[in-house]
Amino acid sequence: MEDSWATLGVDLHLETNGDATRSGVRKGLTDALREAVRGGRLAPGTRLPSSRSLAVDLGIARNTVADAYADLVAEGWLTARQGSGTRVAERDVPRPVEPAPRRRAAAGPTYDLKPGTPDLASFPRAAWLKAARRAMSAAPNDALGYGDPRGRIELRTALADYLARARGVHTDPDRIVVCAGFAQGLRLLGGVLWARGLREMAVESYGLDVHWNLLKRAGLRTRPLPFDELGTSTTELGSRARPRARAKSGAGAGAGAGAGSGSGSGSAKVALLTPAHQFPMGDPLHPDRRAAAVDWARREGGLILEDDYDGEFRYDRQPVGALQGLDPDRVVYLGTASKSLAPGLRLGWMVLPAPIAAEVIEAKGGAEWGCGALDQLTLAEFITSGAYDRHVRGVRLRYRRRRDQLVAALAARAPEVRATGIAAGLHAVLELPPGTEKSVVQAASWQRLGVQGLSAFRHPAARVPGRDALVVGYGTPPDHAWAGALDALCRVLP
């Protein structure tokens, strides 16, 4: 029998080999203490607890501990002096042979300016805990069950009110599906659209490869839309489409029913856009192109997936309302708490047109849950109590100050570098002299500064002129590291 106790600041493993007699326990304790000293877990000079204290800790007789101490004193492992107690003897203890050191992995960046993450140190821990306590106190027992695949009704109700007020989204709680962040929502939608017969989706020329790869795994090709000085060109959404297929009757007809038509034809009846704040270029979709996208969806029976990833952060202009408000039957609105709170919460939401909503709910209910009910209840309380609005106002001011400091530092130390896309969001695009992007990114890595070049966000099939630029996430560093990150950035810029 082997028992283990955490005592003396180390684990003592008492091996009695089935002998529970006093002599067996004594031998087991003696061996355990000897091994702790031999292995260096009990350092020379360490004072051991009194025999009474250790006996109480281990649940054995005091005399057993005293005898074990006496055995080890006799062997020279311990010393016992009047007034000094029992200590580990000062002696050379053979050290185990250390294996050859492994090659260490490369250390992470000292300063991280990669976009996509907010300042995690600004997460409102105290306010979140208060909301969690209130939510738990008021939660019904069934909140701890499997529940509704759409998500908790408390959160869906709070989101419907907030999105209408803050983003101009038209919806009701029944058409909202809570998901584990944008990625799960896109994965669910990709699977549903593939099942409808869709094989190709239009995307922006600049975006995130992780999203394109999610769609690829769902069986969908991605076709990049043209990009020019006005941003993404939505006027060419239907340029490769065949004549519109006749809508089927029944449950699949109506809004979004044509999303799968033209299977295998090369047409793209669905488009993934970031209309309020193009990622990463940073500009809103031009009003004429917003209208053109919605007209295309109506005319072709298409569907627009609207990624509103940082809709709360606007600085120098009025907020750009959600595209979904122009036609709730042709636009799927996707939002997330990843930028406003923290990506680790894994909380996002989809606002779905009625016909596709039932299919997404069925897909999510079958295999894709992923959202803890307690976090959902907490976020609902956080929103309805006003804590969410207060938090967003506070961090918006903080991020605006950082944006202003970035622009001022560039003007003073790198006047040839122009920051664009800075009226909103948590990142900026820094335009570089032609042919310098690769060398600047390399110089940044030598300085242990995490940055990404614009080329990392360009779709492989995009037919747009190459541009040299950095995409800098000024929201990522914590406050104490911002000044150092800004200084390191200016040192590597041409």
Instruction: Answer whether 350's CB lies under 8 Å from 185's CB.
Output: yes
**444 and 372 in a common domain:** no
**205 and 70 in a common domain:** no
In a domain, 98, yes or no: no
Q: What is the CA radius of gyration of the chain?
A: 31
Q: Output the pTM of the full model.
A: 0.74
Q: How far is CA 249 from CA 199, 244, 257, 258, in A?
A: 22, 15, 10, 11
CATH of residue 406: 3.90.1150.10
Distance CA 277, CA 320 (A): 8
Domain boundary residue, one of 388, 419, 435? 388
Instruction: Answer whether 339's CB lies under 8 Å from 330's CB.
Output: no
Distance CA 364, CA 367 (A): 6
Q: pLDDT per position in the chain (494 positions), as tens? A: 444 444 555 556 666 566 667 788 888 888 888 888 887 778 888 888 888 888 887 888 888 888 988 888 888 888 888 777 888 888 754 555 555 555 554 567 889 999 999 999 999 999 999 999 999 999 999 888 888 899 999 999 999 999 999 999 999 999 999 999 999 999 999 999 999 999 999 999 999 999 999 999 999 999 999 998 888 998 878 655 444 433 333 333 344 445 554 433 345 699 999 999 999 999 999 999 999 999 999 999 999 999 999 988 999 877 788 999 999 999 999 999 999 999 999 999 999 999 899 999 999 886 556 688 999 999 999 999 999 999 999 999 999 999 999 999 999 999 999 999 999 999 999 999 999 999 999 999 998 999 999 999 999 999 888 789 999 999 999 999 999 999 999 999 98
Domain boundary residue, one of 366, 388, 410? 388
CATH of residue 32: 1.10.10.10
In a domain, 465, yes or no: yes
Distance CA 362, CA 398 (A): 41
CATH of residue 235: 3.40.640.10
Domain residues for the domain of 418 are 111-115+390-492
**370 and 394 in a common domain:** no
Domain boundary residue, one of 388, 407, 439? 388
In a domain, 30, yes or no: yes
In a domain, 362, yes or no: yes
**163 and 75 in a common domain:** no
Distance CA 86, CA 237 (A): 83
* 432-440 contact pairs (CB < 8 A, 24+): 432/468, 432/469, 432/470, 432/493, 432/494, 433/468, 433/494, 434/468, 435/468, 436/468, 436/494, 437/468, 437/469, 437/470, 440/470, 440/492, 440/493, 440/494
Q: Which residues contact 477 (CB under 8 A, 6 or more apart)?
A: 111, 112, 113, 119, 485
Q: Which residues contact 202 (CB under 8 A, 6 or more apart)?
A: 222, 223, 224, 225, 237, 268, 270, 271, 272
**345 and 276 in a common domain:** yes
Look at residues 85, 5, 6, 89 and name the one whose alpha carbon lies nearest to residue 48.
85
- Phi/psi at 267 (5° precision): -80, 155
**370 and 437 in a common domain:** no
In a domain, 95, yes or no: no
In a domain, 100, yes or no: no
**397 and 362 in a common domain:** no
**232 and 299 in a common domain:** yes
Terminal CA-to-CA distance of the chain, rounded, Å?
69
- Phi/psi at 168 (5° precision): 70, 30
Residue range 394-449, pLDDT digits in tens? 999 999 999 999 999 999 999 999 999 999 999 999 999 999 999 999 999 998 99
User: Counting runs of H as helices and runs of E as strands, what totals does the chain give?
Assistant: 13, 19
**140 and 261 in a common domain:** yes
Q: Which residues contact 451 (CB under 8 A, 6 or more apart)?
A: 113, 114, 440, 441, 444, 470, 471, 472, 489, 492
In a domain, 7, yes or no: yes
Look at residues 423, 396, 408, 393 and name the one whose alpha carbon lies nearest to residue 316.
423
In a domain, 102, yes or no: no
Number of domains in the chain: 3
CA angle 243, 247, 253 (to 5 degrees): 145
Residue range 197-241, pLDDT digits in tens? 999 999 999 999 999 999 999 999 999 999 988 889 988 786 554
pLDDT score of 41: 78
**344 and 404 in a common domain:** no
**466 and 361 in a common domain:** no
**378 and 394 in a common domain:** no
Distance CA 347, CA 164 (A): 18
